[in-house]
């Protein structure tokens, strides 16, 4: 048995999310179907690092799986890339030790969130950025962002009723770039893990702050009071990208 790590990108638009589920198209199921073909019909299971939601995209999702025999990694990558559907691409495949686990090996993640601030929107980006056509003071968002950086209890930014007990996470980067030519805001968030809907709730809150309907200090208030009702709305999934996963050592 040889363990392989694969880095993949996908267009989340036509998927009900990463994770396998009945009666819905998932990235995991499509990848497993292809892997099973390559494994001469013997079913195989893959483990993903991040369970992206319906409509969320990925440029650097990481998976691992075991094959009964050693393979040439570039041939394996090419076979997986060409045999998966056109909305999944396989960027890299490498052999890893038995102790590597895409989800449980220690890692940090980077997400990007794209906001189309054009009026009207860019029709080519309607599945790939969230349209926000209201006035925004970028300076207010830039003042709010640093409050997210550091070790915090993010209870106020996750969906209520999540089963995860420990809601303390560390954010190492929370930044914003403005691509004026393309009317795009590009948020970047890096950290050791993110709770369910955390980034979409943070972005929804930041946009409300930029629109002047919440004070800049609201972020700290949400973190301290741990109350989801104090945060802004959940931003749509179409702007969210799982960008990169970095494993330790």
With CB under 8 A as the contact rule, which of the stretches 100-108, 123-131, 152-160, 227-235 interacts with a copy of itself? 123-131
Find the binding residues for a copy of itself in span 42-61 (CB under 8 A): 57, 59
With CB under 8 A as the contact rule, which of the stretches 89-97, 143-151, 185-193, 212-220 interacts with a copy of itself? 89-97
Using the rule CB under 8 A, is 128 a contact of a copy of itself? yes
Active site residues: 53
Q: Which of 20, 44, 54, 87 binds a copy of itself (CB under 8 A)?
A: 87
Using the rule CB under 8 A, is 202 a contact of a copy of itself? no
Nearer to a copy of itself, 143 or 182 (CB): 182
Q: What is the 3-state secondary structure (H, E, C) of the chain?
A: CEEEEEEEEECHHHCCECCCCCCCCCHHHHHHHHHHHHCCCCCCCCEECCCCECCCEEEEEEEEEEECCCCCHHHHHHHHHHHCCCCEEEEEEEEECCCCCCCCCCEEEEEEEEEECCCCCCHHHCCCCEECCCCCCHHHHHHHHHHHCEEEECHHHCCCCCCCCCCEEEEEEEEEEEEHHHCEEEEEEEECCCCCCHHHHHHHHHHHHHCCCCCCCHHHHHHHHCCHHHCCCCCCHHHEEEEEEEECC
Q: Which of 6, 35, 88, 145 binds a copy of itself (CB under 8 A)?
A: 88
Using the rule CB under 8 A, is 180 a contact of a copy of itself? no
Using the rule CB under 8 A, is 9 a contact of a copy of itself? yes
Size of the residue set binding a copy of itself (CB under 8 A): 19
Nearer to a copy of itself, 92 or 149 (CB): 92
In the complex, the residues that contact a copy of itself under the rule CB under 8 A are 9-11, 57, 59, 81, 86-91, 120-124, 126, 128
């Amino acid at each position: 048995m040889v363990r392989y790590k694969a880095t993949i990108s996908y267009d989340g638009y036509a998927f009900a999310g990463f994770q396998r589920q009945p009666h819905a198209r998932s990235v995991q199921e499509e990848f497993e179907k292809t892997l099973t073909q390559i494994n001469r019909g013997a079913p195989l299971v893959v483990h993903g690092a991040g369970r992206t939601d319906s409509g969320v995209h990925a440029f650097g999702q990481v998976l691992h799986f075991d094959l009964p025999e050693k393979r040439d990694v570039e041939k394996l990558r090419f076979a997986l890339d060409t045999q998966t559907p056109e909305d999944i691409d396989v960027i890299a495949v490498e052999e890893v030790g038995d102790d590597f686990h895409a989800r449980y090996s220690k890692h940090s993640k980077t997400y990007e969130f794209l906001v189309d601030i054009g009026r009207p929107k860019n029709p080519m980006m309607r599945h790939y950025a969230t349209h926000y056509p209201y006035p925004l003071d970028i300076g207010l968002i830039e003042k709010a962002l640093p409050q997210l950086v550091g070790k915090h209890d993010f209870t106020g930014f996750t969906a209520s009723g999540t089963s995860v007990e420990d809601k303390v996470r560390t954010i190492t980067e929370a930044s914003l770039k403005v691509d004026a030519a393309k009317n795009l805001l590009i948020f970047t968030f890096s950290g050791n893990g993110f709770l369910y809907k955390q980034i979409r709730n943070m972005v929804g809150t930041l946009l409300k702050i930029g629109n002047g309907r919440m004070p800049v200090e609201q972020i700290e208030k949400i973190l301290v009071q741990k109350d989801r009702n104090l945060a802004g709305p959940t931003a749509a999934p179409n702007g969210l990208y799982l960008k990169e996963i970095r494993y330790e050592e």
